[in-house]
Structure 1
Amino acid sequence: MFNLKTFKQKSPQQRFLFILGLVMFTFYLILGLLLIFWKDIPFEIQKTYRILFGLLLIAYAAIRFTRLINQKND
């Protein structure tokens, strides 16, 4: 699990990649939520497919987050 003490001991490259992973996680999460809840989306897509794609993006964000947190130190 995530430990703040081990985060401080990481190299600058590992910290940068960790922060980049968090940014990408939030990007996919926000994009999935936007697809689900944005009513006047600027392109034509059926509501069912829009919700399914949004849920797929949220599931992908969750997978990325768990892989990011459970990284083993090499």
Structure 2
Amino acid sequence: MFSHRNTRRQTQKSPVKRFLFVFGLVFFLMYLGLGLMIIFWKTLPLPLSRNQRLALGIILIVYSFIRFYRLWQKQNDRD
């Protein structure tokens, strides 16, 4: 009974680590949303051609998934 409590306490994340994980997820969603917004929002006030908007949106989406992959790897390494 006590050994279960000790192992759970040892595997529980600190508040700072949990905050940084949630913060990373928020930024993943922000970059993903910004990339999609640049691609699909027609009246976005950016003086870019359609191809430039598509390229910038794809770059932001790819970058968001790179951030998510790194965040996921870091989270799994801690466990």
TM-score interval (norm. to shorter): 0.7 to 0.9
Which structure 2 residues correspond to residues 1-74 of structure 1 after superposition, within 5 A? 9-71=12-74, 72-73=77-78
What amino acid is aligned across from residue 33 of structure 2 in structure 1? I
Could you tell me the TM-score, scaled by structure 1's length?
0.85
> Which structure's relative contact order is higher, taking Cα pairs within 8 Å and 6+ residues apart?
1
3-state SS of paired residue (2:30): helix
The number of residue pairs the alignment matches comes to 68
Q: Which has the higher helix share?
A: 2
Moved over 3 A (4+): none
- How far the C-alpha of 1:63 sits from its partner, in A, is 0.4
Percent sequence identity is 49
Q: CA deviation at 1:16?
A: 0.2
Q: TM-score, normalised by structure 2?
A: 0.80
Please report the RMSD computed on the Cα atoms of aligned residues, expressed in angstroms.
1.8
SS of corresponding position for 2:13: coil
SS at match of 1:70: helix
Q: Which amino acid aligns with 1:73?
A: R
Shift of 1:67: 0.7
In structure 2, what is the Cα distance between the partners aligned to 1:47 and 1:40? 12
The structure that has the greater radius of gyration is 2
